């Protein structure tokens, strides 16, 4: 194990009947621990030689950090992959929260273990959701020789530095406009739980007035939060300010406040300093490029405020400067240079307020600048929610990448929304729902996200 410790490994033989498999098949399950990371391996009896390496999303302290070898939902997607002859593996990672530096090591260690104790795959496909989408892209960037291709689902593809800066902009506007004299910390966070609670208290006070609601919307606009929250609902009319505001409020409490006022503590602890900044940022420009511009403008009028005045306040406020070594750490863990050596398919919902769809623009831009655009394809599902894909939609994405690997070229006709929807529909009725969350027909759509608020390609200069 090259110096790594293998603890409490167990090998079991199970009978696993996967959805759609038409019967039981013998699946070999291997679980154990490498270093501090639990792992899970499943190999079907009739393994076809292809291995899917799964990277899971961010784990918060209130959740169990366990190994996952499939996602979205795990029991359904894992069953489908096994029933079609694919082996699946995944690590729990050594740490939680921004586990990227550990995950990039843990996943390669697990791949090494698989090759030594199970067999060398004909090809390995990296895939993952959310933070796992970022890890997937990172593995491919750092180890292109180990992978045949990758699928990044709802991924943080703008990279770590850009992700942290986007939440800093929202937190800066939130504090400056709503609680300028409060104890809210947007950098050098000392107690994340207390800081998040202070932000929640500020939010609750602000939403009781029209002026406060307008300023909450301004903070949301600087992070490009969408005005659609519930994957079970239809997209609201953008002119319906009540529906738009209700969605924004949910994204603020469920996504922005924890990420902007809690997660910096983990960034700073790992990086040994503050990696984020807003020195030199023109918030007038940031607001102008936000897709929420018109709704926020209407809310300001309703609240008797001038958004131009608040933008002047933001541009005149005390800024946060980066600590270069800390930024370098977050850039290494990880930002993207766009050099793709293997095909990558990405998929995003159109209304994701946890990892905004504009991440796809940031990734496509760096890939294009590196001259690797033909290696990348991106598809979108018309739905609200973070990683809110049905298994059928995920299956369709997997099949497209497999076709690309088998044939050596993308079939762009197969990537058209109508064709993707037909393929997803053919997966069968049992795959058209995410159990207990939502269900519905396949919803691939033509979509072009706007620009990422503040992209930071690998190798960019600090202010």
Residues 6 or more apart whose CB falls under 8 angstroms from that of 281 comprise 169, 319, 454
Question: What tokens does 295 get?
Answer: 């709704």
Question: What tokens does 363 get?
Answer: 């990734």
Question: What tokens does 323 get?
Answer: 């600590």
Architecture of domain 6-159+332-445: 3-Layer(aba) Sandwich (3.40)
The structure tokens 């298994």 sit at 391
pLDDT digits (tens, 9 = 90+) for 387-427: 999 999 999 999 999 999 999 999 999 999 999 999 999 99
Q: Is the pTM of this model over 0.85?
A: yes
Residue 420's alpha-carbon distances to 20, 51, 132, 382, in angstroms, are 19, 23, 23, 13
In the chain, domain spans:
6-159+332-445, 161-323
Q: 118-156 b/e with 16+ CB inside 10 Å = b?
A: beebeebbbbbbbbbbbbbbbbbbebeebbbbbbbbbbb
**Measured distance CA(298)–CA(317) in Å, rounded:** 24
Task: Give me the pLDDT at residue 25, please.
Answer: 58
pLDDT digits (tens, 9 = 90+) for 147-166: 999 999 999 999 999 999 99
The structure tokens 């302290």 sit at 61
Cis ω for the linkage preceding 301 (within 30 of 0): no
Q: 13-36 b/e with 16+ CB inside 10 Å = b?
A: eeebebbbeeeebebbebbbbbbe
**Measured distance CA(456)–CA(271) in Å, rounded:** 17
CA angle 304, 307, 312 (to 5 degrees): 130
**Measured distance CA(350)–CA(382) in Å, rounded:** 5
Q: Which residues of the chain have pLDDT under 50?
A: 1-24
């Amino acid at each position: 194990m090259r110096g790594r410790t293998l603890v409490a490994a167990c090998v079991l033989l199970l009978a696993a009947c996967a959805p759609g498999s038409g019967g039981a098949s013998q699946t070999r399950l291997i679980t154990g621990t490498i270093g501090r990371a639990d792992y899970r391996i499943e190999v079907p009896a009739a393994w076809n030689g292809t291995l899917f390496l799964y990277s899971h999303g961010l784990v918060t302290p209130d959740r169990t950090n366990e190994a996952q070898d499939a996602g979205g939902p795990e029991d359904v997607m894992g069953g489908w992959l096994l029933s079609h002859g694919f082996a699946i593996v995944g690590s729990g990672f050594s740490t939680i929260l921004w586990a990227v530096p550990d995950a990039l090591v843990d996943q390669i260690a697990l791949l090494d273990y698989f090759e030594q104790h199970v067999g060398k795959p004909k090809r390995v496909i990296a895939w993952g959701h959310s933070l796992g989408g970022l890890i997937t892209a990172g593995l491919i960037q750092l180890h292109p020789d180990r992978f045949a291709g990758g699928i990044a689902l709802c991924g943080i593809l703008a990279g770590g530095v850009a992700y942290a800066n986007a939440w800093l902009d929202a937190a800066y506007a939130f504090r400056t406009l709503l609680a300028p004299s409060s104890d809210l910390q947007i950098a050098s966070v000392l107690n994340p739980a207390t800081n998040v609670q202070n932000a929640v208290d500020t939010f609750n006070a602000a939403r009781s007035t029209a002026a406060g609601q307008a300023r909450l919307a301004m903070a949301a606009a600087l992070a490009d939060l969408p005005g659609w929250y519930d994957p079970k609902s239809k997209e609201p009319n953008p002119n319906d300010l009540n529906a738009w505001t209700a969605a924004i409020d949910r994204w603020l409490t469920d996504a922005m406040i924890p990420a902007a006022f809690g997660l910096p503590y983990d960034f700073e602890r790992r990086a040994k300093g503050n990696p984020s900044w807003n020195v030199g940022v023109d918030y007038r420009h940031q607001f102008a490029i936000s897709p929420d511009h018109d709704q926020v403008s209407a809310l300001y009028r309703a609240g008797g405020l001038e958004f131009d005045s608040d933008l002047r306040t933001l541009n005149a406020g005390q800024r946060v400067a980066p600590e270069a070594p800390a930024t370098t750490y977050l850039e290494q863990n990880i930002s993207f240079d766009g050099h793709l050596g293997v095909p990558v398919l990405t998929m995003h919902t159109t209304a994701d307020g946890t990892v905004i769809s504009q991440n796809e623009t940031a990734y496509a831009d760096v890939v294009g600048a590196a001259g690797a655009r033909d290696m990348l394809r991106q598809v979108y599902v018309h739905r609200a929610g973070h990683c809110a894909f049905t298994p059928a939609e995920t299956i369709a994405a997997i099949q497209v990448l497999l076709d690309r690997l088998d044939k050596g070229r993308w079939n762009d006709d197969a990537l058209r929304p109508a064709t993707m929807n037909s393929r997803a529909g053919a997966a069968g009725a049992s795959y058209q729902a995410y159990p207990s969350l939502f269900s519905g027909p396949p919803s691939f759509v033509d979509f072009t996200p706007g620009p990422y608020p503040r992209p930071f390609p690998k190798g960019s200069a600090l202010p």
